[in-house]
Each structure stands twice: as structure tokens, then as C-alpha cells.
Amino acid sequence: MLTVKKFGGSSVATAEKITAIAERVLREKQADEQIVMVVSAMGDTTDELIELAKGIDQDPYRFAREMDMLLTTGEQVTIALLAMAFKKLGQDAISLTGRMAGIATDDVYTKGRILDITPRRVHEELDSGKIVIVAGFQGADAAGNPVTLGRGGSDTSAVALAGALKADSCEIFTDVEGVFSADPRIAKGARKMQEITYNEMLEMARLGAGVMQPRSVEMGQLYGIPIHVRSTFSQNRGTVIREDYTMEEKSFVIRGVAHDEKVAKIAVLGVQNTPGVAHKIFAALADANVDVDMIVQSIRNIEKNVTDMVFTVAIGDLNQAKAVVDKVAEELDAVAVLIEEDVAKVSIVGAGMLGNPGIAARMFGALAKAGINIDIISTSEISVSCLIKSSEIKDAVNAVHNEFFPA
Ligand code: ASP
Ligand code: MG
């Protein structure tokens, strides 16, 4: 039996915690079990390294290769310490960088994608009786340069390794008990889900739920690896992310309420209502790699045949989006470009809502009852999202959650 166990930054934040993890893993180890561990950098190390780089230059990401040389050191600290902890406890173990573990990526530094994994070394070390500890969040390009996989990328390392090793299980140990029906810090009645599908988890992540890096869920789906998200600090079963439900869990049409406060709204007012205008705006944004989420085009003035284009972007992309849109707006002779940052998005997610319009109505009703105005609505096959004022996001999450998950 081969298992992959990933521990996140808060689980390995101190030497004591690292030792505690080694003890736990050995306590629970089955006689015939081969174990591969994937770990994150200790605590907030990655953020601290980024701050350090900002001491050299305000925008260190423009030196992307060097950023990756820097950021990959975080995980390398953890793998070495964890290997020492096992050895001290009498268990042979070895630490491997992403490259040593055979994780090959493209050369898009700081946002790398795994192209291929040849885990020959991992197998050899396992066969010699060692626990193998792999640095998360990293691989190497064809020239051997270290490449990181985007923030939260250790999840992806773990799931991809589990796939390449044809592991029997992939456990993601974290500081929460699993995937909840809403952020438990906000929604009082939030419950831990026993299971959730890859598609629902991806949609939850896209709409703001931060438990797992979305790419890791895609990897799980690609390789058909069930991902067990559970707590480092308890023995409890967490949430299993898989293709389909296997349990007769009380079936909720809605699997979760997600929210995202890191959004901004951009309105391009008074552009001509003629072919090619939307294309011009959104092609320019796409060229600048800015993802656009909710889009609304409205007729503003029929006599003058002008319209408004309203859409949302991630806060992190706002400056870039604004620069692009200002330029296009001038070319299009738009009346004005308005930016609103005090907006937030609340969403419901569930495969069960396909072809069930009553579900959206219930969401709007719950928001209306709480006196919350909806600015923009957008839908996908398995979600409905509403843009609202950011000051009302907590009330909105609770109102919508109570509607679909009554106490
Ligand atoms: N240490 C990296 C980060 O903070 C990767 C990870 O923890 O998954 O984003
Ligand atoms: Mg994480």
C-alpha cells in the first residue's frame, strides 16, 4: 500500500509541530504501508520571503526566475527538518526536492505547471524502506531551474505525485476539519461535508473557497485520485473530494455557499452599441492576462444607441485591468470608467441545481429578506453568484446558508 500525505504550512510551523507530525505518521503507519509526504514551507515563510524580496524591489515578481530560486527554499527547510525528525525517532527517511522527485514543469516561473512526473528516485527510496519527503510547490524546468506552482501549490504537488505513483490514497492535512458548507468563521451553522465532487469543489474554489488549490482538484479528477481533506490536529475523518457521491448522505441540492471579497467592479459607461465593442474591451483584457468574471451589458440610452459594459475582476488584477480599460475606453470614446472596490460576491454551488430554476429564486429571496440589494447576477451550470456591497457579505453568507442548510 502506498499513501501520499500532505501537510500545509500551519501544520509544520514549528520544530515541535514537525516532530508531532512525524510521531503521528509513525503511530498510524500500517505494516505494509509505503509513505510519501509532501510539505509546505513553515508557517508564513513564503509570505516572509516575498516581503524580503520586496526589500530589494517593489515588484520582485518581474525577476521571476530569481523569485522561484528564493521561494523554493521555504519548502526545502521543512523537508530537511521532517526527515531529521523521523530519523531521530528511529525511522529512516529522506528529503527530496521537486526536481529530485522527478517533477518536471514548464518554465513559467512563479506560475509553473507540471508537465510530467518520473518518480523513479521516489520508488527506489521507498523500496529501501524509507519514508520519502518531497518539497511541495516546486518542480524544475527542462534546464533544471526551480519553478514554483503558484500559491497553495503544495496541494497540487501532492495530488500529482499520488497520481504518478498510483497511490492508494492522498490525504491533505490542514488546519480545518475538512470542506465546509460555508466558511465556518462566518456562517455559524456551517457543516463539514462528508463528500463533494471534483466539479463542485472546483466551482467552490473558483468562487472564493480557499481550502484547496484549484489545480490540485483538476489533477485529482484527471488521475481519478480521491482527495481526503482532513485536520492535522485531530483523528476525525474529513471530506473526500471524488467523482461521485458514494454515501447516502442527506442530499442537499446545494453543496456549499462560497464568498469572495477580493473582487472589484469596473463599469465602462456610454460606449457605442455596435458590433465589436465588447470584443475590443475583453480581448484587450485577455491579452493582458486579466480574468473577467461577471459581465453585464445594458442598454443605457436607446436614442443615442450607447450602452454600459460592467464586469468584475480579481482585486489583484485591478491595477492592470484599469490601465487596459482606460486605454480602450479612450479609443472607444466612452463617457467614463468607474471602479468600485467595496463589492463582494456570494455564490451557491451544487450539481443538483442543474435545470432547477427554483434554487436561484430561493437564493434571491433569502437575500431580499435580509434587506441585501443584488447588483449583478451570474450563473454557471452548477452555481449562481450575486455581487453585493462588501459591508453586507457576512449577513449575505448567513442568510443564504440558513436558507439551504437550515439548522
Ligand atoms: N508555501 C507555498 C505557499 O504559501 C505553497 C503552499 O503552501 O502550498 O503558497
Ligand atoms: Mg493551502
For 354-365, the pLDDT digits (tens) are 878 899 999 999
Q: Mind listing the pLDDT tens digit for each residue in 303-336?
A: 788 999 999 999 989 999 999 999 999 999 999 9
Ligand 1 in reach of 41 Cβ (< 6 A): yes
Ligand nearest to the CA of 46: 1
- Per-residue b/e over 285-303, b at no fewer than 16 CB within 10 Å? beeeebebbbebbeeeeee
Could you write out the DSSP letters of every residue in 281-348?
HHHHHHHTT--EEEEEEEEEETTTTEEEEEEEEEGGGHHHHHHHHHHHHHHTT-SEEEEEEEEEEEEE
SS3 162: helix
Which pLDDT tens digit goes with each residue over 207-261? 998 888 999 999 999 999 999 999 999 999 999 999 988 875 656 789 999 999 9
Pairing of the two strands 114-117 and 131-135? unpaired
Q: What is the DSSP letter of 257?
A: E
CA distance 358 to 371: 20
Other beta carbons within 10 angstroms of residue 330's beta carbon come to: 10
- Which ligand has the minimum distance to the alpha carbon of residue 111? 1
> 255 alpha carbon to ligand 2 midpoint, in Å?
21
pLDDT, tens only, 258-312: 999 999 999 999 998 889 999 999 999 999 989 999 999 987 677 788 999 999 9
- Can you tell me which atom of ligand 1 is nearest the CA of 213? 8
Q: Any residues with CB less than 8 A from the CB of 61 and at least 6 apart, and which?
A: 67, 110
DSSP state of 209: -
Ligand 1, atom 5: nearest CA belongs to which residue? Answer: 152
Cell of 86: 523521523
Task: Tell me how far CA of residue 307 lies from CA of 8, 280, 314, 324, in angstroms.
Answer: 48, 14, 24, 19
Rounded distance, CA 117 to CA 305, Å? Answer: 55
Owner of C-alpha cell 456562517: 187
